[in-house]
Amino acid sequence: MSPAAADGRREEIMHVLDTIHDPCSAAIGKPIGLVGMGIIDDVSVAGDEISVTVLPTFPDCLFRGVFEENIEKALGGLPWCRHVTVRFRAADHGWDETRMTPEARAQLGRRRVISTGDCAA
């Protein structure tokens, strides 16, 4: 696959990933995609296989299974995709608000996303 084709696929993947809403932002009525939230740490494409590394907002995030299922389902729906692997970044790599896009931070307004492991924050 040419570098241009790989870049096109990566762009397509990022678009699809951003249609999946972070459960905690959705719970407060301000749904933000996984890319906007800065939860997607890495994406790689090898032919028809996709690997996604996720960095949840909290190391003991209760939604890991939800992330994995939603990512596999969404990316598995791409016509060229044969296999999706979802990994989670080690807990020693912490998420913070600087990973969010400016648009996502603006959407949340002054409300700070606190990494407590639940959606009540």
pLDDT in tens, 31-57: 999 999 999 999 999 999 999 999 998
Question: Where do the domains of the chain lie, and which CATH numbers do they carry?
Answer: 3-107 (3.30.300.130)
Q: In this structure, what DSSP letter does residue 97 have?
A: G
pLDDT (tens digit per residue) in 57-99: 888 889 999 999 999 999 999 999 999 999 999 877 788 889 9
Residue 59 φ then ψ, to 5° = -55, -35
- In the structure encoding, which two tokens stand for residue 103, read together? 């648009």
Q: Distances in Å between the alpha carbon of 109 and those of 3, 15, 38, 80, 105?
A: 38, 23, 16, 38, 6
